[in-house]
Structure 1
């Protein structure tokens, strides 16, 4: 189902870094639950950009396909939702529900990091147009981006909406990068791994210290 090219399955390009503190991760567990609804985002950059003021209702998340399928259809969509939903569709639709939430965490973590663009669409499309230099393979692999599995798209769209509405980011310990187990990009030997979920390893980019 995935459309990754074997040579570029590493999703993110290497950026300047120093060692980061390592955190342990868990493999997918369909019965894992989490609670959210306290704040919209862990940071404020995307919230301010989108002008979102409402808070998500407190609810219990189950990282399972059955739970996601039982959720009502997404009504609040928009461009930012579409960018995140499409990224999850092309990057992780074959993953477990937990794996899809984890990939969404990475994208949102980048939005909240001043080193990266300040919106979901800009993060997802960073580097697009420069073949094999994009941050997400599907945006520059030259293949059609047509949605051919509407049910899978609706499912990841629900994940996208939950994450935008304030679902917790506690699966990847602040990861900003990931790659499949099939490859070993150079940056993976410099960043510390924070989690392994499904076919993906997740990493947190070391803190960058400005030089004065």
Structure 2
């Protein structure tokens, strides 16, 4: 071990057996990530919880009694934050979550293991919601191919699908929050969001790794559709 520039001990992972360099670097980054360590101490499912916490602290998206849809929820960090802030423990609000992967139960959160892009997923989600949503949030990421342009287009397609779903289920005035990656491929998506919402911006919380192109698109003040009014 050695100390980094902040004085913290830095863990170095030795290459062993058939461990790939990418796996070694990922493990090393996890072991040295202060947000990962903090999440473990505070009983949160993932470091991603702090991203939503920071965004909500600044923009006040989550309020008591709201209905929230969490797309790509596993392992559950965002659902934990949302459940607390809408008042699930006090019998208020509703959090509905889906993911391709299993997610251990979170008290008060309704979860289904579903492929969001599957034909039946939107219908199932609407049934789980039992009404319209105040917030639709997505921390989904497309599987990467290693080809940058292809990966960017896949990610934009995923966000576009989430945005289309949000436009069908949000209450007027509602909020859409989704992970994306910095690229020029999302111009059409941003233009559509600006037509549908009063305010659209990109945000990058401090908990996002600074060497990552990850950022979030935040659309507030959904203008509503004929079916939502």
- TM-score class normalised by the smaller sequence: under 0.3
TM-score by length of 2: 0.25
Question: Which is bigger in relative contact order (C-alpha 8 A, separation at least 6)?
Answer: 1
TM-score, normalisation: structure 1:
0.27
